């Protein structure tokens, strides 16, 4: 049995990004998930964010910072402008490395999970990230299974520091995924690492009982609501601060003339067809 609506099942697999996008901009959701248009070239902010994440992942796995920087640059081909943007995060990456070293030295850890990809079925049972039956997907930037049968999951953010409540949907979804994959857990700690501010902010830990009850109920309603919103006809763009990070901005009628947006939309549609062929 599944608690999810027919609409939610038809639109699976879901992710935090997919469920949030339909709320922040229904038109961008349509372009990405219904029309399957290829994303236009990512902007400077997006590229810089990817670079900081890549370097942080490498240093977390044990690479020296300078080696991690060189490897990320070689892999992604960052420009001088992009590297200058990435440099603003290096102090935060160094600080996190020191914090991580102290945590590892003082905390009994059963298992460490770096860039762990996890999935859930529509029955909220564990599934491989790319499994045929996966309903919901998530990737943990960093996680720890601790000897006291708790877990800690950390997500890195390159955006400006804000109230951790802004990320509550992601954190609750990750708490549910952690408990579904590791049902022996008694508690889940959830944190946001604001790289640019060199600050790790923890939310109030969630007990297994709360996750199985309140969080699970919220999650089902959250996904079903997203699926209903995605089914609305004639989705419209929503102008917000998120537009600066949107790869579909060149085809968005809210930011371009109808003629320019239509021309770029035709180009992306042709690119999609070539890719499908």
The domain over range 6-230 is classified in CATH as 3.90.320 = yes
Q: Is the separation of the CB atoms in 117 and 153 below 8 Å?
A: no
Q: Closest Cα to residue 90, out of 193, 191, 198, 162?
A: 198
Q: Closest Cα to residue 202, out of 151, 164, 149?
A: 164
Q: How many helices (H) and strands (E) does the chain have?
A: 11, 8
* Average pLDDT for runs of 10 along the chain of length 277: 95 97 94 86 82 96 96 94 96 96 96 96 97 97 98 93 90 97 98 94 96 98 97 90 82 74 63 61
Q: Which residue has the tokens 């299974």?
A: 145
- Give the model confidence (pLDDT) of 224-239 as tens digits: 999 999 999 889 999 9
User: What number of other Cβ atoms are within 10 A of residue 1's Cβ?
Assistant: 4
Note the pLDDT of residue 269: 65
User: What number of other Cβ atoms are within 10 A of residue 206's Cβ?
Assistant: 22
- Signed CA dihedral, 145, 139, 176, 246: sign only: positive
- Give the model confidence (pLDDT) of 149-172 as tens digits: 999 999 999 988 888 888 999 999
Note the pLDDT of residue 267: 67
Note the pLDDT of residue 275: 61
Q: State the pTM of this model.
A: 0.87
Note the pLDDT of residue 266: 63
Structure tokens at 125: 């049972």
Output the CA–CA distances (angstroms, integers) from residue 247 to 5, 82, 153, 156, 219, in the order listed. Answer: 30, 17, 28, 21, 27
Note the pLDDT of residue 263: 64
Beta bridge partners of 192: 155, 201
Note the pLDDT of residue 135: 98
Strands 14-15 and 136-146: parallel
Q: What are the extents of the domains in the chain?
A: 6-230
Note the pLDDT of residue 253: 86
Sequence-distant (≥ 6) Cβ neighbours of residue 158 within 8 angstroms: 48, 49, 52, 53, 89, 195, 196
Q: Which residue has the tokens 């298992």?
A: 111
Q: Angle, to 10 degrees, between the axis of helix 168-181 and the axis of helix 16-24?
A: 160
Q: Is the separation of the CB atoms in 212 and 179 below 8 Å?
A: yes
């Amino acid at each position: 049995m599944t608690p999810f609506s027919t609409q939610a099942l038809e639109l699976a697999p879901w992710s935090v990004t997919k469920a949030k996008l339909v709320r922040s901009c229904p038109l961008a959701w349509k372009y990405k998930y219904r029309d399957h248009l290829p994303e236009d070239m990512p902007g400077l902010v997006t590229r810089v964010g990817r670079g900081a994440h890549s370097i942080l992942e490498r240093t977390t796995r044990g690479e020296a910072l300078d080696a991690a920087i060189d490897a990320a640059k070689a892999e992604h081909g960052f420009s001088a402008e992009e590297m200058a943007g990435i440099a603003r995060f290096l102090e935060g990456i160094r600080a996190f490395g020191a914090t991580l070293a102290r945590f590892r030295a003082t905390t009994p850890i059963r298992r460490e999970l770096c860039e762990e990809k996890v999935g859930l079925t529509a029955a909220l049972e564990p599934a491989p990230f790319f499994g045929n039956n996966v309903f919901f997907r998530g990737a943990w930037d960093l996680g720890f299974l601790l000897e006291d049968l708790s877990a800690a999951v950390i997500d890195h953010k390159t955006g400006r520091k804000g109230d951790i409540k802004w990320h509550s949907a992601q954190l609750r979804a990750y708490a549910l995924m952690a408990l579904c994959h590791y049902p022996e857990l008694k508690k889940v700690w959830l944190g946001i690492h604001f790289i640019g501010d060199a600050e790790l902010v923890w939310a109030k830990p969630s007990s297994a009982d709360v996750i199985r009850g309140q969080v699970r109920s919220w999650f089902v309603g959250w996904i079903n609501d997203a699926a209903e919103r995605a089914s609305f006809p004639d989705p419209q763009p929503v102008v917000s601060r998120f537009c600066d990070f949107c790869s579909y901005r060149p085809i968005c009628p809210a930011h371009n003339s109808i003629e320019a947006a239509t021309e770029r939309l035709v180009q992306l549609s042709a690119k999609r067809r070539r890719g499908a062929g």
